[in-house]
Structure 1
Amino acid sequence: MQRILRRQWGRLIRPGVERKLVRKYGAFGLLVVDEWLLDKPDTEFRSMLLELIELRCGTASTVFCTQFKKKDWHPRLGGGVHADAIVDRIVHSAVWFDMGEANMRQRRG
């Protein structure tokens, strides 16, 4: 997600672009975040992510697809207050589907 957003909107250096981006993604009824936390977010992106999740919390559905266990999310988000807030908003209202250890890319036959 971070790479896509950075590529699409640059480094978010223009005033107001970040807020516009948060409103745009906040308005979707369903947002699917694939490769969640594959790249560790920087401080700027963490702040934007917190604002986006806060906006969507309790009003819209968000699907996080990840290879990481829940216990690894906090450190990958950089720890600290922002990580606490992001994880709290996701975890407490989540429905979890654990795919186990199966590799979905392996051919079954």
Structure 2
Amino acid sequence: MLINPTIDMLRELGLYGMATAFQELEAQSEARGLEHGEWLAMLLEREATMRRQKRFEARARAAKLRQNAQIENADFRAARGLDRNLFMALAGCDWIRKHHGLLITGPAGVGKSWLACALGHKACREDFSVAYHRVPRLFAALSLARGDGRYGRILKSLARTDLLILDDWGPEKLNDDQRRDLLEIIEDRYERRSTIVTSQVPVDRWWEIIANPTLADAILDRLVHNAYRIDLTGESMRKQRPPVASENTEA
């Protein structure tokens, strides 16, 4: 049997996983004893696996996560109050399916951004769309967008994302534009999508950051309602790291 035309046709149809698996199976003498149904099942499984991997890679590129963090590398030994059971339950991503939120607070260096990125990475693997933004830079981008006509498009993009990570919020007080931006973002996503917010400032002081009683009540009511909480404590984990550490290791 000439296999090259078959492989070429599979690739022409965009079935690259099946083409690769076909080549590999054809080269294995033991595979020649497989039934046709077994061959087909193996080819389809390879194609499905490759497509899942490509979707994940595309999701991860679009997310632009700050750190290459993975939940398998989470450090539960550090004395910072991280509840292992809660974190691993969050890693299952059911809270994203139910459009709940997550608030991660704690002092600098205890791993807030890392944990948020690890959950974002897992969400990408579960085929959710993810977007990571440092809050100061997002506000700056929205300010510029008002002048060049992109403001509405950015808000729509943020609203459509399954999981939005708003990292490093506070401690500076918001100005009028930033308060309105935050309300628009949270209002669009409330009970429709999931949001992670990380901050060095405890949740009970977020009202002070917003610095407008009416908008603070509206924003916090939507942020805190149906949101899980991870309140970290302790000293910076960076002080405990060796001078050179892998980017996959939690910091």
| Interval of TM-score (by shorter of Structure 1 and Structure 2) | 0.7 to 0.9
Structure 2: runs of 5 or more not aligned? 1-134, 243-251
After superposition, the C-alpha distances for 1:12-50 in whole angstroms (9 at most, x for unaligned) are 234x53322211111111111110124322111211210
After TM superposition, the structure 1 stretch with the greater mean CA deviation from structure 2, 50-59 or 19-28, is 19-28
Taking structure 1 as reference, are residues 9 and 48 closer, same or farther at Cα in structure 2, changes over 3 Å only? closer
SS at match of 1:95: strand
Give the Cα–Cα distance (whole angstroms) in 2 for the partners of residues 23 and 35 of structure 1. Answer: 22
**Identical-pair percentage:** 29
- Which residue does 1:86 correspond to in 2? 219
After TM superposition, the structure 1 stretch with the greater mean CA deviation from structure 2, 37-46 or 72-81, is 37-46
Matching residue's letter, 1:49? L
Taking structure 1 as reference, are residues 77 and 13 closer, same or farther at Cα in structure 2, changes over 3 Å only? same
SS at match of 1:13: helix
TM-score by length of 2: 0.39
After TM superposition, the structure 1 stretch with the greater mean CA deviation from structure 2, 74-83 or 39-48, is 39-48
Within the alignment, does 1:67 sit opposite 2:203 as a pair? no
Matching residue's letter, 1:12? R
SS at match of 2:230: coil
* Bigger CA radius of gyration: 2
The Cα RMSD (Å) is 2.2
Give the length in aligned residue pairs.
Answer: 108
- Which residue does 1:95 correspond to in 2? 228
Which of the pair is proportionally richer in helix? 2
Q: Is the 8 A contact 1:2 1:39 kept in 2?
A: no
Q: Is the 8 A contact 2:142 2:151 kept in 1?
A: no
Give the Cα–Cα distance (whole angstroms) in 1 for the partners of residues 229 and 143 of structure 2. Answer: 31
